[in-house]
Structure 1
Amino acid sequence: MNQLPIHALLPSIREALAHHDQVILEAPTGAGKSTALPLAMLDWPEIAGRILMLEPRRVATRSVAQFIAERRGQCLGQEVGFRIRGESRVGSQTRLEIVTEGILTRMIQQDPELKGVGLIIFDEIHERHLTTDLGLALALEVQASLRDDLKLLAMSATLSGLPLAELMPEAKSLSSEGRSFPVAVDYRPVKGQQAWLEHMGRCVLELLGPDSPAPAELAAGSLLAFLPGKAEILRLAEFLGARLDGERFSICPLYGELPPQAQDKAIAPAPAGRRKLVLATNVAESSLTIEGISLVVDSGYRRHAGFNPRTGVSRLALKRISQASATQRSGRAGRLAPGYCLRLWSQEEHDRMPKADEPEILHSDLLPMVLDCAFWGARSLQELTLLTAPPKVHETLGWELLTQLELVDARRKITPLGQAAHRLGCHPRLAHMLLKAKLLAEKQQRPELATLACLLAGVLEARGLPRRGADIGGYLALACQGLTGSQVKSWQQKLKLGGALAEAVSHARDQDIGLLLALAYPDRIAKARGVDGYQLANGTGVSLAPEDALAGHPWLVIADFQQTEGRTAGRVYLASRFDVSLLERELDFLVTRQQECGWDEAKGRFYAEHQAKVGQILLSTQAIANLDRSQIVAAILAQLRRKGLGLLNWDESVTQLQLRLALVGEHYQDQDWPSLTDEALLASLESWLAPYLTQVNNLAQLARIDCHGLLRNLMSWEQQQKLDALLPTSWPMATGTRARLHYDANGRALLSVRLQEALGMSQSPMLAQGKIPVTMTLLSPAQRPLAVTADLASFWQGPYHEVKKEMRGRYPKHLWPDDPANTLPTKFTKKKTLASGAASRND
C-alpha cells in the first residue's frame, strides 16, 4: 500500500485539508485514492468526526469497505463499515463509512447538519451519476449555510470536461500520478455480417488458446470481458461454458443484480490451478481491483437508458462507449502487472468515439431528484448548485407528475403526503401507491391491501428476478424472500402494518393489484388495440407477447415497459389486469369529464359531445343536442389552425393578393398596409373570418366563402385603388391583349406573351412607379418559351437575332422583323397582319 502513487501525495492532501474546506484531487487509475487514501485518513487527527466516502456502485462499495477493514485487521462494522440500499454494516465505533451516493442524499435530508461527520469524499466523481451531482449540490449547500467546518474532497480519475473548478472556485487542487502498468492494445473489429457477441466469444477462446495473440508472459493470466448488460453476459457465459474445460476455467459473471456472494467470487483470486474469466458490465470499470487480471476483452458497448419525456420511461439502446471509458476498461489489465487489451472495434472507429460520457442528468428520469429538491425546500433544480443544468422538459415533467400524485402543491411546495413519501425511501410513484393503499385499507377495513402494496413495490424495485411472464401477480411470492423480503418488511414497519406476507400473497386478487398499480402509474392504464397492442393513458403504444397470459385482456395497468431502438411500440415486462369499473369508484378522480367540440375530419363537419377520459383514452361520449353557435365557430377556427388555410377557398387569386400586398409593403413601408401572411391571417381568424361563419356547418359551406373578397376588404378603398395601380393584375399590350401579371415569392412580377405582341416595345414594363421591372417570358407562336428577360431593350439588340434566325425557318408565316423595337406588334400571321393593315388604309 505504501508504494501506491497516492502515498507520495498524502502530506499534501493532509495539509490541504488542514487549510481548505474543499479539495479537488485528480488521481488516475491505480493511484490508490479509493483504498490507500481513506485508510491513511483514519490516522489523521486533523479530521474531526466520521469520514463518509461515496462510491458510485454497490459492488465497489462493499469491496472497498471489506478491503480497508482487512488492512485495519478488523471486521466490517467496527472502525470501517458500509451502507448500501437494503444492507448496512455500520456500528457505533465506525469512523469510515463507504456509502452509495443515494445514501448520502438521504443522510443529508434527514440531518442537514450531518452531526458527527467531518469529511465527505466523493470518489469517481467523473462518472457523473445523477445521485453524485445531487449529493455534491446538497453537501455544498450544507457547508455554505450550516457547517463551515465540514470538509469536502472531490476525487476524479480525470478532470477533463468536469466543471469542478467552476463549481468550487476556492478549492485546493492536487494531482497524483496513476499506477498502471503498460497495457498492449489490439483492435479486432467484427467482420462482415457476423454477430458481435459471437465474434467476442471467438476472440476470448483465441486469447485463452495456444495461439493467443497476447504476449506469452500474459497469456496465462485471468481474463476480464466487458459487456453491455446481464443478458449478453449470460449468453456469452453459455457460449464459453460449452467450449471450455470447467476444470481449468472458472466463469464468473459480475453485474449489479448478482447477490453479494457471487460478486465476491468474481472479485476474489482465481482458485488454485484454474484461470478465471470475469464477464462484467461497466461496474468493473473503476474502483475495483480484480485479482489476477492480465487480459481484457472489450466489446465497446454499453446499455444506455435515455429518458423519453413523452412516454415517461427510458428508451434502452446499445451505444458505443466513450474514449475515456475505453481507457478505464483497458487499464483493468494493468492494475497489478503489465497487461493486454483486445478491443472489438477498429482504431479508426475509436478516434470517432466521444471523448467522455454525458452526465446522467441530461438523459435521466428526474422525478426522484425533483422530490428530493422539494423535500429540501427548493422550488426548482436551478436553486441547487449542480455541475450540469438538467433539461427543462425533464424537470417540468417531474414537477407535473409530483403535482398529479399530490406530493407537491401547485406552488411546488411539498405536501404532508410528499414528506411521508420521501421518508419511505422508494420511487415517488411507489411511495404514493403505498401511502394511498394504507388509506384505502383503513377505509375499507382490509389491512391486507396495504401489505399487498408493499409486495408490489418489492417486485418493482427488485433486481434480477427470473422471468415468469408479464403478470406481476406471478412474482409476489418472490418478494417475500431475501433482500427483497427485507425491504418489504421495512416498508411494513414504516407504515406500521402487520400481517404475514405469505397470507397477503395467497389472498391477492387481480382487481386489487390493478387498483394499486393504477395509484402508482395512472398514466399507464392501458386499453387494448389491435391484436397484441395497447394504448397507454399517456398516449404511448406498447405491445404484449401473444402467448402471454395477459394477452387479449381488454384493460391492463402497465407497471414496467421498455422502449428499444428499432421498435415502434414499447415491450411490456410487468403488468396486471385492470377492472375498468374502478374508474367509476375508487379511481374516479383519475377521470376527466369535459365538453369537447371539434371537427370530424372523416365526415367533414362539426361535432360537440360530452367526453369522459382517463388520460388520452376515451371512455365514453354523449352527443350535445343544443349547440352553441360560438362553439361551432371556435371549432372551425381551431381546425383551420391545425390544418391550415387550404381548407378555405384558397385559390390563385388569394395567393396573388397575398404576394402583391407583401411586395407593396416592402417598397412602401411608410404606409399602413395590412399583413396577409398565413401566420398573420391564422392569428386573426376571429376578426376577418369568424363573422362570416354564422351559417357554416361543414366543409362544403366553408369552401364557398369568397376569401379573396374578404381579404381585399381588409384594405381601405384608397388602398385597393393604389395597390391596383402600383401592382396591377394584368398589363395592357398594344395589340389589345391584357397579359396577366403573376407575382412570385421572390418579389418578381412575371408576364408571358407571344414575342410578336411585344414588338414595338422599347423596354420592359415597369411597376410600382418604376421600382419593379416586369420579367417577360416571350413565347413562340406555339406558346413555347423563347426567352426570359427583364431588360427588353437589351434582348432586342442581342439575343433576339439568334432567336430570329432559328424561328424564321420554323414559323415562316409569322413576323420576325430586323428592327423589332420599331415594328408594330401583332397577334396574327404576316398575311393577316398585311390584310389588316391594308383594310386600315382603305378606311
Structure 2
Amino acid sequence: MDQLPVLSLLTPLREAFSQHHQVILEAPTGAGKSTALPLAMLDWDELEGKILMLEPRRVAARSVAHFIASQRGCQVGEEVGYRVRGESRSQASTRLEIVTEGVLTRMIQQDPELSGIDMIIFDEIHERHLTTDLGLALALEIQGSFREDLKILAMSATLSGLPLTELMPKAISLNSEGRSFPVELVYRASTSSQQGRSAHHWIDHMGRVIVELLTQGDEKGLYSHGSLLAFLPGQGEIVKLQEFLNSRLDLNLFSICPLYGSLPPKMQDKAIAEPSDGKRKVVLSTNVAESSLTIQGITMVVDSGYKRQASFNARTGVTRLSLKRISQASAAQRAGRAGRLAPGYCLRLWSQEEQGRLLKADEPEILHSDLIPMVLDGACWGVKALDELPMLTTASQPNENAAWQLLEQLDVVDKQRKITSHGRQAYELGCHPRLAHMLLKAKSLTKGTHRELVGLACILAGVLESRSRGQHGIDISGYLRESIQGESGQQVRQWMRKLNVNSDLQACITNACNEDIAFLLALAFPDRVAKSRGVSGYLLANGTGVTLPEHDALNSADWLVVADFQESEGRTSGRVYLAAQIDVESFKSRLQFLVEKQEYCGWDDVKGRFYAESQQRIGQIVLSKSALTKPDPEQIKLAIFEQLRNKGLGLLNMNDKALQLQNRLMLAATLDSEQAWPDMSHGKLIDTLADWLGPYLNDVKSLSQLRSLDCYTLLLNQLEWSAQQRLETLFPTHWAMATGTRAGITYDDAGRALLSVRLQEALGMAQSPVLANGKLTVTMELLSPAHRPLALTADLASFWQGPYVEVKKEMKGRYPKHLWPDDPANTTPTRFTKKKTLNQGS
C-alpha cells in the first residue's frame, strides 16, 4: 500500500480542496484510488464528517469496504462500512461509507443537505452508469444551492471522451500514474467468431484455449503458475463455460469460480479471495471484474471480447439484450487485470485487426437505457425534464418521453410532470414504478374488503425484482414460494413493513388464485395485456408481438398479462419469461379500467370506401366493435392521416411542381440564411399533416376527392407572399434565354439545378447561369435539335473550348440544316435552322 502511485497526490489533493470544493482525478488502473486514497482521507483533520464513496457495482462496494476496514484494523460496519441495495453494514458513527450510486440518490432525496457528510467520492465515473450520471448531477445541484462546503471528488481511470471539465469548469484537475506490471497481449480469433456470434462456437473455442493455457502453459511458460480470469458477457455464458471446464480440468488442481452480480455474496467473496486450498483459481466473470476489484493471484486473462448490452425500446417499453463487442477502453481495463500484482498475460479471442475497429470507449447508458427510474428521481427532485439537471450527457429523448408517459399513466406524475402524492409514496417503496403502483393500489383496494391482496402483491414484486430465479415455466404462480426465501424474501418483508401490513406470506401463497394474480399484474403492466394470435403468438396492448415456448402450458390461453419479456437481436418477436392467464370475463369487471371506448374510422381497401365503428379497445387490441352509420368528419380526417402515414404521400396529387417546390425549399434552407425557410421534406409533411392538409379535408370523403386537391398550391400557400417572391428570385422555375425561350429549371434532391435547352439556344453564353446570389451554378443539359441529350456541364466556357469540338463533328453531319459554329461562345443563339436564321437576319 505504501508504494501506490496515488499516495504522491495526497498533499496536492489536500491543497486542491483547500482552494476549491471540486476536484477531478485521473488515475489509471493500479494507482490505488479506490483503496489507498479513501484510507488516507480518514486521517485528514479537515474532514470531520462522513466520507461517502460511490462504487458502480455491489460486489466492488463490499470488497473495497472489507479491504479498507482490514487495513484500519476494524470490523466492517464500524469506522468503515458499506450500503448496497438489500444490505447495509454501517452505523451513525461510520466515517467512510462505500455505497452504490442508487443509494446516494435516495440519500439526497431524503436529506437534500446531506447533513453530516463532508465529501462525496465518485469512483470509476468513466463507466457512465445511469445512477453515476444522476448521482453526480444531484450532488452538483446540492453543492450549488444548499451545501457550498460539500467536497466532490470525481475519479476516473481515463478522462478521454468524458466531458467532466465541461460540467465542472472550475474544478481542479490532478493526474496520477498507474501501477501495473507489463501484460503480454496475444490475439487468437476463432474462425467461427469471425463468421458469426454463435454462442456454442466461441464458448467452445474459449474453453479449449483456457484448458490449453492451464495444462500446457503460455508460449513462453512465464505465467502458467498463477490463476486465470476469463471475461464473458453474461451469466448464461458463464454457466456454459463452467460446464465445459468441469469435464476437462482436474478439479483437484483447479477451483472454478463464477463471478456475476446476482451471485450470493459468499460465492462472490470466494471468487475474489486468494485460494486457501492450494488450488489454482479459474474465475469466470462478467464485466463486474473490469475495475475496482483486485482478484488475488491472477496472472492470466482470457477475454471473449463480448458484453451484453441492454437497449431500451421506447415503442415497446421493454429492454432488448444484444451481444456486442466491447470498446478499446474496456479491453484495456480487462487486460490490466492480469498485471495488477505481477507481470501478466492476456489472450484476446479476436484479431488484432478487429481491435483497431472497436469503439474507443463505451457509450453512456443514458443514451440507450430504460429511463423510468431516473425520470422518477427527476420528478421527485422537482424537474420536468432531465436536461434541467447538470448532466454529463443529454438523455435519449424518445426514451425520456416514454418514461414520462408511463409515469403519467400510472398516476405517478400529472400532466404537467409534477409528482403526485401517489408518486411520492411509490418512490419511497424503492422498487420499479410499475411495481410500486401495483403495491399501493393493492393496499388501497384491500381496505374494506375481505380479500388479502397486499401480501400477494409484495410476493409478485419479489418474483419480478429477484436477481435469480429457478426454471418453473412461464406461469408466474410457479415462482411464488421461492420469492419469500433469501434476499428476495428480505425485500418482500421490507415492502410489507413500508406498507404497514402484516400478512401471512405462506397463507397468501396458499390462497393465491389466478384471478388475483392477473389483476395485480395488470395494474403494473396495463400495456402488456396480450391476446392470442393463434399460431403466431400474442399481440400486446402496446402493439408488440411476443411468443411463448412451444410446449408451455400457458400457450393455449386466449388472454395473458405479460410481466417479463425481452426482445433479442435477430428475433422479430419478444420472448415471454413470466405471465399470468386472464379470464376474458374480467374485462367486464375487475379489469374494466383497461377497456377504452373509441370511435374509429378507417379505409376499406376491398369496398373502396371509408368506414366507421365504435370499438372497445385495450391499447392496440380490439376487444369488440360495432358499425357506425355516419362517420364524423374529424374521424375521416384521422383515417386519411393514417392512410398517408402508412402508404405515403403518393396518395395525394404530389405532381412535379410540388416536388420541385420541395427541392427548391431544401436548397433555399441551405444556401439562403437571411430567410427562415420552412421544412417541407416528405418526412416533415407526414409529421405535420394536420397543419398543412387538415384545413382542406372538411369536404373530402373519398380517395378520389383527396387526389383532386392541388398540393402544389397548398404547399406554396404555406409561404408568405414576400417569401414566395424571394424564392422565385433566388431559385426560379425558368430561365429567360436570349432567344426568348423560357427554359425550365429542374431542381433534383441532390441539390443540383438543371437547365435543359437545345445547344443552338445556348450559343453566345460565356458561362453557365448562376443562382442564389452566386452560390449555385446551373448545370446545363445541352440538347440536339431533336431534343436528345448531347452534353451535361456546369462549366459552359470549358465545354465550348473542349468537348464541343467532338460534339460538332458528330452532329454536323446528322443535322446539317442547323448551326454548328466554330466559335460558339461568340455566336448569336437561335431557335431555328441556318436558313431560317439567315432569312430572319436579312
Which of the five TM-score ranges fits, normalised by the shorter chain?
0.7 to 0.9
- Correspondences of 1:591-610 after superposition (within 5 Å): 591-610=595-614
1:300 and 2:305 aligned: yes
1:356 and 2:352 aligned: no
**Secondary structure at 2:354's aligned position in 1?**
helix
Q: Relative to structure 1, is the Cα distance of residues 373 and 511 closer, same or farther in structure 2, using a 3 angstrom cutoff?
A: same
**In structure 1, how many angstroms separate the alpha carbons of the residues matched to 2:701 and 2:379?**
50
**In structure 1, how many angstroms separate the alpha carbons of the residues matched to 2:745 and 2:214?**
77
| Residue in 2 that maps onto 1:345 | 350
| Residue in 2 that maps onto 1:576 | 580
Q: Relative to structure 1, is the Cα distance of residues 597 and 156 closer, same or farther in structure 2, using a 3 angstrom cutoff?
A: same
**In structure 1, how many angstroms separate the alpha carbons of the residues matched to 2:605 and 2:83?**
60
Of structures 1 and 2, the larger Rg is shown by 1
**In structure 1, how many angstroms separate the alpha carbons of the residues matched to 2:21 and 2:663?**
65
**Secondary structure at 2:480's aligned position in 1?**
helix
Q: Relative to structure 1, is the Cα distance of residues 171 and 507 closer, same or farther in structure 2, using a 3 angstrom cutoff?
A: same
Given that 2:181 and 2:340 are in contact with CA atoms closer than 8 Å, whether structure 1 keeps it comes out as yes
1:204 and 2:210 aligned: yes
- Correspondences of 1:554-573 after superposition (within 5 Å): 554-573=558-577
**In structure 1, how many angstroms separate the alpha carbons of the residues matched to 2:661 and 2:10?**
79
Offset at 1:802?
A: 5.0
Given that 2:661 and 2:712 are in contact with CA atoms closer than 8 Å, whether structure 1 keeps it comes out as no
- Correspondences of 1:212-251 after superposition (within 5 Å): 212-251=217-256
| Residue in 2 that maps onto 1:48 | 48
TM-score, normalized by length of structure 2?
Answer: 0.82
Q: Relative to structure 1, is the Cα distance of residues 202 and 495 closer, same or farther in structure 2, using a 3 angstrom cutoff?
A: same
| Residue in 2 that maps onto 1:587 | 591
**In structure 1, how many angstroms separate the alpha carbons of the residues matched to 2:446 and 2:318?**
29
Q: Relative to structure 1, is the Cα distance of residues 272 and 611 closer, same or farther in structure 2, using a 3 angstrom cutoff?
A: same
Q: Relative to structure 1, is the Cα distance of residues 274 and 406 closer, same or farther in structure 2, using a 3 angstrom cutoff?
A: same
**In structure 2, how many angstroms separate the alpha carbons of the residues matched to 1:198 and 1:477?**
36
Q: Relative to structure 1, is the Cα distance of residues 219 and 113 closer, same or farther in structure 2, using a 3 angstrom cutoff?
A: same
**In structure 1, how many angstroms separate the alpha carbons of the residues matched to 2:711 and 2:160?**
63
**In structure 1, how many angstroms separate the alpha carbons of the residues matched to 2:228 and 2:648?**
63
Offset at 1:11?
A: 2.6
Given that 2:637 and 2:697 are in contact with CA atoms closer than 8 Å, whether structure 1 keeps it comes out as no
- Correspondences of 1:147-546 after superposition (within 5 Å): 147-192=147-192, 195-210=201-216, 212-447=217-452, 449-546=453-550
**In structure 2, how many angstroms separate the alpha carbons of the residues matched to 1:616 and 1:595?**
13
| Residue in 1 that maps onto 2:738 | none
Given that 1:660 and 1:727 are in contact with CA atoms closer than 8 Å, whether structure 2 keeps it comes out as no
Q: Relative to structure 1, is the Cα distance of residues 352 and 582 closer, same or farther in structure 2, using a 3 angstrom cutoff?
A: same
| Residue in 2 that maps onto 1:830 | none
Further displaced range: 459-468 or 163-172: 163-172
Amino acid corresponding to residue 546 of structure 2 in structure 1: V
**In structure 1, how many angstroms separate the alpha carbons of the residues matched to 2:819 and 2:273?**
103
Amino acid corresponding to residue 502 of structure 1 in structure 2: Q
Q: Relative to structure 1, is the Cα distance of residues 371 and 267 closer, same or farther in structure 2, using a 3 angstrom cutoff?
A: same
**In structure 2, how many angstroms separate the alpha carbons of the residues matched to 1:685 and 1:751?**
40
Q: Relative to structure 1, is the Cα distance of residues 634 and 366 closer, same or farther in structure 2, using a 3 angstrom cutoff?
A: closer
- Correspondences of 1:45-124 after superposition (within 5 Å): 45-124=45-124
Amino acid corresponding to residue 562 of structure 2 in structure 1: I
RMSD over aligned CA atoms reads: 4.2
**In structure 1, how many angstroms separate the alpha carbons of the residues matched to 2:6 and 2:605?**
72
Given that 1:606 and 1:697 are in contact with CA atoms closer than 8 Å, whether structure 2 keeps it comes out as yes
Given that 2:663 and 2:747 are in contact with CA atoms closer than 8 Å, whether structure 1 keeps it comes out as no
Given that 2:612 and 2:630 are in contact with CA atoms closer than 8 Å, whether structure 1 keeps it comes out as no
Which structure 2 residue ranges, 5 or more long, are not aligned? 668-677, 718-727, 735-742, 765-770, 772-777, 822-831, 838-842
**In structure 2, how many angstroms separate the alpha carbons of the residues matched to 1:443 and 1:646?**
59
Given that 2:126 and 2:157 are in contact with CA atoms closer than 8 Å, whether structure 1 keeps it comes out as yes
Q: Render the CA deviation track for 1:32-54: whole Å, top value 9, x for unaligned.
A: 11112222222222211111111
Q: Relative to structure 1, is the Cα distance of residues 616 and 804 closer, same or farther in structure 2, using a 3 angstrom cutoff?
A: same
**Secondary structure at 1:612's aligned position in 2?**
strand
Which of residues 597, 600, 612 in structure 1 aligns to 2:616? 612
TM-score, normalized by length of structure 1?
Answer: 0.82
Further displaced range: 383-392 or 430-439: 383-392
Given that 1:214 and 1:340 are in contact with CA atoms closer than 8 Å, whether structure 2 keeps it comes out as no
Q: Render the CA deviation track for 1:414-436: whole Å, top value 9, x for unaligned.
A: 11100000000111111111101
**In structure 2, how many angstroms separate the alpha carbons of the residues matched to 1:406 and 1:550?**
31
Given that 2:5 and 2:176 are in contact with CA atoms closer than 8 Å, whether structure 1 keeps it comes out as yes
Given that 1:187 and 1:342 are in contact with CA atoms closer than 8 Å, whether structure 2 keeps it comes out as yes
| Residue in 2 that maps onto 1:13 | 13
Given that 1:532 and 1:545 are in contact with CA atoms closer than 8 Å, whether structure 2 keeps it comes out as no
**Secondary structure at 2:425's aligned position in 1?**
helix
Q: Relative to structure 1, is the Cα distance of residues 692 and 584 closer, same or farther in structure 2, using a 3 angstrom cutoff?
A: closer
Offset at 1:7?
A: 2.4
Q: Relative to structure 1, is the Cα distance of residues 658 and 444 closer, same or farther in structure 2, using a 3 angstrom cutoff?
A: same
**In structure 1, how many angstroms separate the alpha carbons of the residues matched to 2:692 and 2:16?**
71
**Secondary structure at 1:177's aligned position in 2?**
coil
Amino acid corresponding to residue 546 of structure 1 in structure 2: E
**Secondary structure at 2:555's aligned position in 1?**
coil
**In structure 1, how many angstroms separate the alpha carbons of the residues matched to 2:182 and 2:456?**
55
**In structure 2, how many angstroms separate the alpha carbons of the residues matched to 1:801 and 1:197?**
70
**Secondary structure at 1:209's aligned position in 2?**
helix
1:129 and 2:129 aligned: yes
Q: Relative to structure 1, is the Cα distance of residues 224 and 435 closer, same or farther in structure 2, using a 3 angstrom cutoff?
A: same
Given that 1:762 and 1:821 are in contact with CA atoms closer than 8 Å, whether structure 2 keeps it comes out as no
Offset at 1:217?
A: 3.4
Amino acid corresponding to residue 368 of structure 2 in structure 1: H
% same residue: 56
**In structure 2, how many angstroms separate the alpha carbons of the residues matched to 1:485 and 1:762?**
87
Offset at 1:181?
A: 1.0
**In structure 2, how many angstroms separate the alpha carbons of the residues matched to 1:818 and 1:6?**
84
Given that 1:599 and 1:635 are in contact with CA atoms closer than 8 Å, whether structure 2 keeps it comes out as yes
Offset at 1:574?
A: 1.3
**In structure 1, how many angstroms separate the alpha carbons of the residues matched to 2:314 and 2:693?**
39
Q: Relative to structure 1, is the Cα distance of residues 817 and 417 closer, same or farther in structure 2, using a 3 angstrom cutoff?
A: closer
Given that 1:86 and 1:487 are in contact with CA atoms closer than 8 Å, whether structure 2 keeps it comes out as yes
**In structure 1, how many angstroms separate the alpha carbons of the residues matched to 2:792 and 2:536?**
64
Offset at 1:552?
A: 2.4
Offset at 1:600?
A: 2.2
Given that 2:305 and 2:326 are in contact with CA atoms closer than 8 Å, whether structure 1 keeps it comes out as yes
**Secondary structure at 1:551's aligned position in 2?**
helix
**Secondary structure at 2:447's aligned position in 1?**
helix
Q: Render the CA deviation track for 1:623-680: whole Å, top value 9, x for unaligned.
A: 1124456755774576457645644688xxx6579879999xx9xxxxxxxx9x9979
**In structure 2, how many angstroms separate the alpha carbons of the residues matched to 1:699 and 1:634?**
13
**In structure 2, how many angstroms separate the alpha carbons of the residues matched to 1:661 and 1:90?**
66
Q: Render the CA deviation track for 1:235-288: whole Å, top value 9, x for unaligned.
A: 111111100111011100000010011101101112333111000001001111
Which structure 1 residue ranges, 5 or more long, are not aligned? 667-674, 715-722, 729-740, 753-757, 765-770, 809-814, 826-843
Amino acid corresponding to residue 191 of structure 1 in structure 2: T
Given that 1:796 and 1:821 are in contact with CA atoms closer than 8 Å, whether structure 2 keeps it comes out as no
Offset at 1:142?
A: 1.6
Q: Relative to structure 1, is the Cα distance of residues 216 and 817 closer, same or farther in structure 2, using a 3 angstrom cutoff?
A: closer
Q: Render the CA deviation track for 1:597-644: whole Å, top value 9, x for unaligned.
A: 232234321111112212111122111124456755774576457645
Q: Relative to structure 1, is the Cα distance of residues 287 and 625 closer, same or farther in structure 2, using a 3 angstrom cutoff?
A: same
**In structure 2, how many angstroms separate the alpha carbons of the residues matched to 1:354 and 1:30?**
23
| Residue in 1 that maps onto 2:824 | none
Offset at 1:709?
A: 14
1:549 and 2:553 aligned: yes
